[in-house]
Amino acid sequence: MVAPLLIFLLFGIIEFGLMVKDLVGVNQAAREGARSAAVGATPTTLTTRIAGAAPTINAGNLNATYHYRSFNEGTGAWGSWLSLGIDGSENNAQAGDQIRITIQYPHQLVTGGLFAGLADDPENGTITLNTAIVMQRE
């Protein structure tokens, strides 16, 4: 009578552990991307650096976006987020701007239908992991 409950808990612990492992990998990839962007890396270079910073996850499934915004001294507020582009050999953010790297990653549930009710996409059995890192352009 207790065995099914214990097995369910065991699979839950395993699934949660694998999800946390993927989330740590996604966070590390975003942090590496933000750090690279802060020193002037172009979006193409960022994509390569992000993929290389997450060796334990499938880099092909990462969905990364790159944005920056400037501080307006006149209004005392940050402007809206703009897409990060290229200005010569570096990105187009200026020193002091904030750069945000946002990554989404679909974590594939290894327990299949057991926890599919918790998934964002129950048909495919995935939960989307999201992270965003903001750093200041140097």
* Chain segment 16-63, per-residue pLDDT in tens: 999 999 999 999 999 999 999 999 999 999 999 999 998 889 999 999
Token digits for 119? Answer: 């998934």
**Distance between CA atoms of 68 and 49, rounded to whole angstroms?**
18
Tell me the mean pLDDT in the region 85-104: 97
Q: How many CA atoms lie within 13 A of 89 on its CB side?
A: 0
In the chain, the amino acid numbered 123 is E
Question: Phi and psi for 136 in degrees, rounded to 5?
Answer: -90, 135
CB 68 within 8 A of CB 82: yes
In the chain, the amino acid numbered 119 is A
Token digits for 66? Answer: 């790159």
Q: What is the mean pLDDT of the chain?
A: 94
3-state secondary structure of 9: helix
Q: Long-range contacts: 79-85, Cβ < 8 Å, 24+?
A: 84/37, 84/43, 84/46, 85/43
Q: Is the pLDDT of residue 111 over 90?
A: no
30 membership: H or E segment, kind and range: helix 3-38
pTM to 2 decimal places: 0.91
* Chain segment 61-70, per-residue pLDDT in tens: 999 999 999 9
User: Percentage of the chain with pLDDT > 90?
Assistant: 83
**Distance between CA atoms of 57 and 28, rounded to whole angstroms?**
11
* Chain segment 72-85, per-residue pLDDT in tens: 999 999 999 999 99
